[in-house]
Chains A and B, each alone.
Chain A
Amino acid sequence: MTETMQPAEAAERNVGARRLRKEDPRLVTGQTLWTDNIQLPGMLHVAVLRSPHAHARITGIDVSPARQRDGVIAAFSGADLADQWGSLPTAWTVSEDLVTPDHLPLATDEVRYVGDGVAVVVAEERYQAADALEAIEIDYEPLPVVLDMPAALADGAPLVHADKGTNRCFTYSLTSGDYEAAKARADVVIKRSYINQRLIPNAMEPRAVVAAAQPATGEVTVWSATQVPHFVRVFLALVAGIPEQKIRVIAPDVGGGFGSKLDVYAEEIILPVLARKLGRPVKWNETRSENYQATIHGRDLIQDVEIAATRDGKALGLAVDLTADMGAYLQLLTPSIPLLGRYMYPGIYKFEAHTFNCTGVFTNKTPTDAYRGAGRPEATFVIERIMDELAAELDMDPIELRRRNWIQHAALPYTTVAGLRSGSGNYEAATERALQLLGYDELRAEQRERRERNDTVQIGIGTSTYTEMCGLAPSRWLGEVGYVAGGWEAAAVRMLPTGRVEVVTGTSPHGQGHVTTFAQIAADALGVPFEDIDVIHGDTATAPAGLDTYGSRSLAVGGIAVLRAAEKVVDKARLLAGHLMEADPADIEFAGGSFRVRGTPGAEKSIQELAFAAFTAHNLPVGFEPLLAGDSVVDPDTFSFPHGTHLCAVEVDTETGQTKIRTYVAVDDVGKVVNPLIVEGQVHGGVAQGIAQALFEEAVYDAAGNLVTGSMVDYLVPAPPDLPTLVTDRTETPATTNPLGVKGVGEAGTIASTPAVVNAVVDALRPFGVTDVRMPCTPERVWRAIRAGGSGGDRAPGGTVAYGGPQTSTTAGGAQ
């Protein structure tokens, strides 16, 4: 801890306090600036015509009839604009064999998923643009569609990209230890195949883009509902050939992202190009149904896993084989998402050997990309599900099995079998607390009692003792694994003449409360009131350096940059204080916003007084630059590693298949907490999204490649009555890798919760011989599993989400 982190005396501690959010007053009164709220003089509206075919050749297109429609200013086909841009970017070359298809913002000769953009109309009004789409004449020659991953990998499969000669996007392997030797020594080997279903992120604000150009100077300003304005700027420059310094990208109020706005989308290229071409501002705002087709999806993996263990519950080896659906194209991070979990499959356990293989596959579906947790929920799902399966096979309590295998806290940090040097933590303590809060032993007793009397309502308890790696940073690592950018983060802290403070961050919040959290950090570091600090973000003109918000990185990377910048301000102020009080700066003490000369009562300057003195610059030390400001760019050495124990108790009605969450306990260790109110909110929302995957949500396509769950009518985003009230608590093991001791919390709840819920459902059904229920565990699937065993089958019989092949096999005795 630095001196500035411990303001003495009366100074109020902000870090750790439940500060109410600075963001709220505008949001609760409707004084918002969502991108779709922006109205500019002369602004036109853009609508995008999208392919109704999952795979087809465009044999003819004529946009001229649309130009005759009322209010229409312009209409362009993909071919009309093909000289305006190159391919949309993919920023992560995950392997040497990565296949990266061309991906123009508007298709020119072939469409590859339902929703692929083919033409645009620009009109005076929103409705006119939408109406005129129907006037565009376009002929398609349907091509064979491939939707199922194993089918796509089979010989002779129709190709999504014929010029690439394969639907295989990449292969990746990681091997540690001798898995076959471990397996040979095992008493028990369990093999399972899990489906981590395709999800639709559903940020409540659909995407929107506004662009305005000044043709005389070549400047263009883009407002976008994005998590990553800095990425949009640099890639707009590269894709459309616009000089980067002429581009300003603003992420105004952004209504959630969950990874779906961590991307560079076609419309973020199309709109600025149209604004420059037409010389008028343009706006595009997607409808929700359009969002379901044209904004990325998440997950969508087949996960084959095998665990080898001794009869007394010592886990020896873990083999993981993933098949990951890329969809039709690669978006910004598409191929990297399943691999972001590459080190997480062994979880918190001590394995001797581990293999990890992943194959990326193209299909005629909406591209996948980051969705909350991005690769790590998928990993946690596999390891926590298979640990419960192993416990059942060994007839051992699942908590006891975990105790026998997890890394004791005294051994942390520990290099896991996957080669990851994990951070601080205490798995035992978090688990102990969660067991207390749940009333684990009582629930087990009730479970036994209900089983004995064949109650129609059975209860199940699911466990998830997760860890994750987040705080996406180390630039060196990102470079080693083929990422095009770094992982640093920038901040600036400026004392203004009146003593108020501006904090500039390169992160770009969309609901996480950075303005509040970063003001708390700066308030303590500078000793100024929380109320006197504002935070500037999300605009490449006012926060020019930054790598934005995703991967639970904003606090653990961006927050540290704010702290470092504030410390530089204090260091500079100390020099000025020494000069003005005629003392050696080494004799100056700083606490609670005041500089005092050690041993000289009464000699005192506040940081606000010094800010004014540095502004007037009337009397500064030699070589001291005017103004009291500091900036910092932080690039951590490693990730951060939140962990925790989530326990879920469900009641399953065996007559209807209905699952009800009775109690959900989340004990998370996210290190030091800056604002408990915000952290609890992140846990609530994260767990809700994980529960949603377990019980409710699934993107379903029909055999022709139409998205059957094409709107909120058909895709079940949970509503208030669908979710339980959570019991949350924390253990607090400070991170040792940063001066605030923080770890990040944005993704933890989602990473932890899905397997806890599914484990609970399966636990309730074990007396019926059920070893898996495919997600989402709908009443129908649960009911089918109870009656027929297996995993409950597919949601859409005859549809294309059906992944064939054997579901489970157990090679050692004891199976029911």
Chain B
Amino acid sequence: MVRIRTTVDGVVREDDVEPRLLLVHYLRDRLGKVGTPVGCDTSNCGACTVLLDGMSVKSCSVLAAQADGCAVMTIEGLSGGSGDGEWHPVQRAFHEQHALQCGFCTPGMIMASVDLLGNNPDPTEQEVRDGLEGNLCRCTGYQNIVRAVQSAAAEMRGERARPEAEAEADAEAEPQGVTA
């Protein structure tokens, strides 16, 4: 067993863990932080992405022991720890741009996007796509995820207020209204 001390979503934790225990299983099975899901076993899908000292990592490819002394932020901590706090602009943008369907990849997508925007506050579409290359989504085709990340970026840069009803002004063409 290894003794580890971490701060998870703002709360200090101290535990004895098996050396082989994955961080994601420590979060889920020991701490009950089940907001972070597991989508694969080869670190391809990114569903389990969390922030480790502010950097996005796939928590299935980090040992709990490696997180000793680190601060871990999960999707549950992103909006103030309680989940009913003020949402992060990326969370809001995912909702407003319909960037999720089943929602299973969403925690990882959001955490990876937060890290991406920390490094690049004004990414192009291609930069968003490249920056999220390690996160897979099977529902959305990524189109609205890209829009959401760019929308959150604009808000975080202070270029516009919270886009409450941006969806209404969406660029999609109106239906032609053809009738038989």
A730 with B102: CB separation less than 8 A:
no
Can you give 30 A-B contacts (C-beta < 8 A)? A18-B168, A18-B170, A28-B75, A28-B87, A29-B76, A30-B76, A32-B35, A36-B37, A37-B34, A127-B20, A203-B104, A203-B138, A204-B47, A204-B136, A204-B138, A204-B139, A256-B104, A288-B41, A409-B180, A425-B180, A511-B139, A688-B140, A711-B40, A712-B45, A717-B136, A721-B129, A725-B143, A729-B173, A731-B177, A733-B178
Residue A254 lies at the interface, judged by CB distance under 8 Å to chain B: yes
A255, B95: Cβ atoms under 8 Å?
no
Whether the pair A288, B129 counts as a contact (CB closer than 8 A) is no
**Within 8 Å CB of A687, what residues of B?**
141
Q: Which residues of chain B are near A288, meaning CB under 8 Å? A: 39-42, 45
A positions within 8 Å CB-CB of B = 18, 20-21, 23-32, 34, 36-37, 39, 125-127, 202-206, 253-256, 258, 285, 287-289, 409-410, 412, 424-426, 429-430, 433, 437, 510-513, 669, 673, 676-678, 680-682, 684-689, 711-713, 717, 719-721, 723, 725-726, 728-734
The 5 closest A-B pairs by CB, nearest first: A30-B35, A511-B102, A255-B104, A27-B103, A688-B141
Inter-subunit contact A204/B105 (CB<8 Å): yes
**B residues near A202, Cβ cutoff 8 Å:** 138
Distance in Å: Cβ of A515 to nearest Cβ of chain B: 12
In the assembled complex, the Cα of A31 lies from the Cα of B137 at a distance in Å of 19
Which residues, 4 to 33 on B, are CB-close (under 8 Å) to A?
A: 18, 20-21, 25, 28-29, 32-33
With CB as the reference atom, state the residue of chain B lying closest to A285: B38
Q: Which residues of A contact B159 (CB under 8 A)?
A: none
CB of B110 within 8 Å of the partner chain: yes
A678 / chain B contacts, CB cutoff of 8 Å? 98
**By the criterion CB–CB under 8 Å, are A255 and B102 in contact?**
yes
Report the count of interface residues on B (CB-CB < 8 A): 73
Report whether B103 and A29 are in contact in the complex, using a CB–CB cutoff of 8 Å: no
Q: Given the complex, which residues of B lie within 8 Å of A30, measured CB to CB?
A: 33-36, 74-76, 83, 107
| A711-B42 CB under 8 A given contacts A32-B37, A426-B180, A732-B177 | yes
**B176 and A729 contacting across the interface, CB-CB below 8 Å:** yes
Give Cα A413 to B76, complex, Å.
52
Cβ–Cβ < 8 Å partners of A126 in chain B: 25, 29
Asked if residues A204 and B98 are in contact (CB atoms below 8 Å), the reply is no
Q: Does B151 contact A (CB under 8 A)?
A: no
Q: Report the separation of the CA atoms of residues A426 and B180 in the bound assembly, to the nearest whole angstrom.
A: 7
**CA gap between A293 and B157 in the complex, in Å:** 46
- Which of chain A's residues has its CB closest to B164's CB? A20
Contact yes or no, A720 B98, CB < 8 A: no
B170 to chain A: which residues have CB within 8 Å? 18, 677
Known: A680-B172, A685-B138. A20 touches B96 (CB 8 A): yes
Please give, as numbers and ranges, the residues of chain A lying within 8 Å of B42 by CB-CB distance: 288-289, 711-713
| Structural contact, B136 and A258, CB atoms closer than 8 A | no
Measured between beta carbons, the chain A residues less than 8 angstroms from B91 are 28-29
Q: Could you tell me if B175 and A20 are in contact, using CB atoms closer than 8 angstroms? A: no
Interchain CB contact under 8 A, B100 and A24: yes
Contact A258 B101 (CB under 8 A): no
Residues from chain B with a CB closer than 8 A to the CB of A412 are: 180
B135 on the A face (CB < 8 A): yes
Q: Distance (Å) between the CB of B61 and the closest chain A CB?
A: 13
Closest to A749 in B: B141
Q: Beyond A27-B106, A30-B107, A719-B133, is A731–B142 a contact (Cβ under 8 Å)?
A: no
